[in-house]
């Protein structure tokens, strides 16, 4: 049975990725930071879950060390993210910048380094998918620290695509406005969609479909799929 490890499974996209993997008969391991209804559901479906704060390198290493005892590993999806508005205070900026780097760059690097041997030992077509952001290439100055960290995650994928070729394929997905947060105002939603060519919220399914496209196409590595309704072009 193929085995996948997904980060950030406690809500939204990470939860949906695991649900589809389980539906398709995969063995699923998932990381989460905070327990939720989603983690309860996944555990009930047989997923193996690990609680860890990705800002804590020791916690990440401990999680990876446990995963190293897995019989096999065929897929890693780096989905976990950390996002809040850019703070104004310099001390707060320093803490926020450190958190962004640890979650989006350091933790994925530690996971890749720690689990790379398992991936390379797979007798299938092992894959890693980094879920980054359309602003990794065209940053939004309002969210400059977050987008810089996502650019780091984006570039990290390219490094591993080279490092692990030809055995392991590594690709990127850059989502746009797929699913607004509950705290987003109607004015914010209208403003974002006005700058999106398809002028509608995408939902999670287009991202899930893009992940499976990357998994199924054995001649893709170092590639990127923008799942953004054309927002990248409209900026």
Contact 110, 65 (CB under 8 A): no
The Cα–Cα gap between 70 and 190 comes to 46
Catalytic annotation on 32?
no
Contact 105, 97 (CB under 8 A): no
Contact 38, 16 (CB under 8 A): no
Q: Which of 143, 146, 160, 219 is catalytic?
A: 146
Residue 160 — φ and ψ, nearest 5°? -70, -30
| SS3 letters across 158-193 | HHHHHHHCCCCEEEEEEECCCCCCCCCCHHHHHHHH
The Cα–Cα gap between 189 and 181 comes to 10
The Cα–Cα gap between 132 and 122 comes to 25
Q: At what angle do helices 144-164 and 107-120 cross, to 10 degrees?
A: 20
Residue 6 — φ and ψ, nearest 5°? -125, 135
| Beta-strand runs (E) in the chain | 3-6, 27-32, 48-51, 75-78, 127-131, 169-175, 224-227
Active site residues: 146
């Amino acid at each position: 049975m193929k085995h996948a490890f997904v980060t950030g499974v406690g809500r939204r996209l990470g939860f949906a990725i695991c649900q589809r993997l389980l539906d398709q008969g995969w063995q699923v391991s998932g990381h989460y930071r905070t327990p939720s209804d989603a983690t309860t559901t996944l555990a009930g479906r047989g997923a193996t879950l690990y609680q860890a704060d990705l800002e804590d390198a020791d916690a990440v290493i401990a999680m990876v060390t446990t995963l190293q005892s897995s019989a096999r590993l065929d897929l890693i999806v780096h989905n976990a993210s950390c996002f809040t508005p850019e703070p104004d205070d310099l001390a707060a900026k320093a803490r926020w910048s450190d958190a962004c780097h640890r979650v989006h760059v350091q933790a994925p690097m530690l996971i890749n380094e720690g689990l790379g041997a398992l991936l390379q030992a797979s007798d299938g077509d092992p894959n890693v998918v980094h879920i980054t952001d359309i602003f990794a290439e065209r940053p939004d100055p309002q969210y400059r620290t977050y987008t810089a960290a996502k650019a780091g995650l984006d570039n990290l994928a390219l490094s591993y695509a080279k490092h692990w070729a030809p055995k392991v394929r590594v690709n990127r997905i850059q989502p746009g406005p797929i699913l607004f947060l509950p705290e987003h105002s109607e004015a914010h939603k209208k403003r974002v969609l006005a700058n999106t060519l398809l002028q509608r919220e995408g939902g999670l399914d287009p991202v899930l479909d893009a992940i499976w496209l990357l998994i199924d196409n054995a001649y893709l590595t170092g590639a990127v799929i923008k799942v953004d309704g054309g927002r990248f072009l409209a900026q």
